[in-house]
Amino acid sequence: MHNQSYSALPRTLSNITLDREFPCGVSGLHHHKDDPITQLHAHNYLEIGYCYEGTGIFVVENKVMPFAAGDICVIPASLMHLARSTVGTISLWTWTYLDPIRLVTLPPSEQSLLDPMALSGPDFVNIIKPAADASVGGIVRQMIDEMHQASPQYRLVVRGLVCTLMARLYRLIPQTGAKTPITDRRDSLHRISKALEYLAGHYTETIRIGDLADRCRVSVPTLRRLFHRALGTPPLEYLIRLRIQMASSLLAGTDRPILDIAFDVGFETLSSFNRHFKRHTGLSPRQWRKKATP
């Protein structure tokens, strides 16, 4: 994986519609061509692809990663991306679109494992090769097969597969400094569970790091360390990403004024909202709404 500036490329939003009771969809076999990457696009749901055939590169924000048959691509909502097959070839992919949080219910201490936002950032490798976790490819293929075949109880099977997949993907989140054992990460998630529960219900309010630390009965430095171990991000950055995710849905699904949405999700000023929204999505709120509205 290496970084390259694609910030100047045009960016578009492709809005996906999923069933409210079962927010999971699957595409047919998609042919990725070898056309040069001249623009990037994003979706409003977590996108997971399986490469059946071919090679090429995948651009996710400023990351450029090679892919080959058998690889998985994981792209959280709002991340700009596009694939290009090796010159003179076509690669074959199938894509699933899903909302893990609405698909699966876990105990409060483990619910954060369903949050796709942690599967992003400059250090997360969005192309997952069999050498990283040989089981992930099989799980994704089972999901695709179940969705296509729609056999009796397939939705229950898919929910179980999504739960397993998200747990496996969280194991692949890189840690700063020394490697963190899986047991340490699970322990960290458990220790910040009360903070995560509070943020999910109060993200629109003014949040103090000290209050979150008190809820978890730890010091502020310890809370920050636990967030990094569990989610790879500081507490306030997690909160901002949560607010941006909620704002994205409101911009796409309502006609409320942008200023009202900014206040609704917890930003104190419109300028702060605009700055953070563009930093996370590459688009202004107005541009996002324009792309999301048919």
Q: Is residue 59 part of a domain?
A: yes
Identity of the amino acid at 276: H
Q: Do 28 and 162 have their domain in common?
A: yes
Q: Do 127 and 17 have their domain in common?
A: yes
Per-residue pLDDT of the chain (294 residues; tens, 9 = 90+): 554 555 566 777 778 889 988 999 999 999 988 888 888 888 889 999 999 999 988 888 878 888 899 999 999 988 888 888 988 889 999 999 999 988 998 877 777 788 888 788 777 889 999 988 889 999 999 999 999 999 999 999 999 999 999 999 988 887 654 444 555 666 777 788 788 878 877 888 899 999 999 999 999 999 998 888 777 788 998 899 888 877 877 887 778 899 999 998 899 999 999 999 988 888 899 988 887 665
Query: Quick one: DSSP state of residue 112?
Result: G
Q: Do 66 and 26 have their domain in common?
A: yes
Cα–Cα distance between 147 and 103 in angstroms, integer?
A: 14
Look up the CATH number of the domain holding residue 187.
1.10.10.60
Q: Do 166 and 145 have their domain in common?
A: yes
Q: Give the C-alpha distances (Å, rounded to integers) separating 191 from 110, 166, 186, 219, 277.
A: 10, 19, 9, 12, 29
Locus of tokens 């192309």: 127
pTM: 0.62
Q: Is residue 242 part of a domain?
A: yes
Q: Do 63 and 195 have their domain in common?
A: no
- Domain final residue pick, 145, 170, 195: 170
Q: Is residue 149 part of a domain?
A: yes
Cα–Cα distance between 225 and 187 in angstroms, integer?
A: 12
Report pLDDT for 107: 79
Cα–Cα distance between 40 and 61 in angstroms, integer?
A: 8
Contact 265, 204 (CB under 8 A): yes
Find the helix or strand (DSSP H, E) in which 55 lies. Answer: strand 55-60
Q: Which residues pair with 2 in a beta bridge?
A: 64
Locus of tokens 């076509």: 90
Locus of tokens 């901002």: 240
Report pLDDT for 180: 44
- Domain final residue pick, 170, 192, 210: 170
Q: Do 233 and 124 have their domain in common?
A: no
Q: Do 14 and 138 have their domain in common?
A: yes
Q: Do 6 and 137 have their domain in common?
A: yes
Cα–Cα distance between 148 and 66 in angstroms, integer?
A: 28
Q: Do 138 and 274 have their domain in common?
A: no
Q: How many helical (H) and strand (E) elements, i.e. helices and strands, does the chain have?
A: 11, 12
Look up the CATH number of the domain holding residue 33.
2.60.120.280
Q: Is residue 139 part of a domain?
A: yes
> How many domains does the chain fold into?
2
The secondary structure of 243-260, three-state, reads HHHHHHHHHHHCCCCHHH
Q: Which residues of 111-134 are buried (b: 16+ CB within 10 A; e: fewer)?
A: bbbbbbbbbbbeebebbbbeeebe
Q: Do 14 and 155 have their domain in common?
A: yes
Q: Is residue 175 part of a domain?
A: no
Taking each helix axis as running N to C, give the angle between helix 270-281 and helix 285-292, from 0 to 180 degrees, rounded to the nearest 10. Answer: 60
Domain that holds residue 238: 182-292
Per DSSP, which regions of 122-263 are E strands?
A: 127-128
Cα–Cα distance between 254 and 13 in angstroms, integer?
A: 16
Find the helix or strand (DSSP H, E) in which 210 lies. Answer: helix 209-216
Q: Do 220 and 150 have their domain in common?
A: no
Q: Do 186 and 124 have their domain in common?
A: no
Contact 82, 59 (CB under 8 A): yes
Report pLDDT for 176: 53
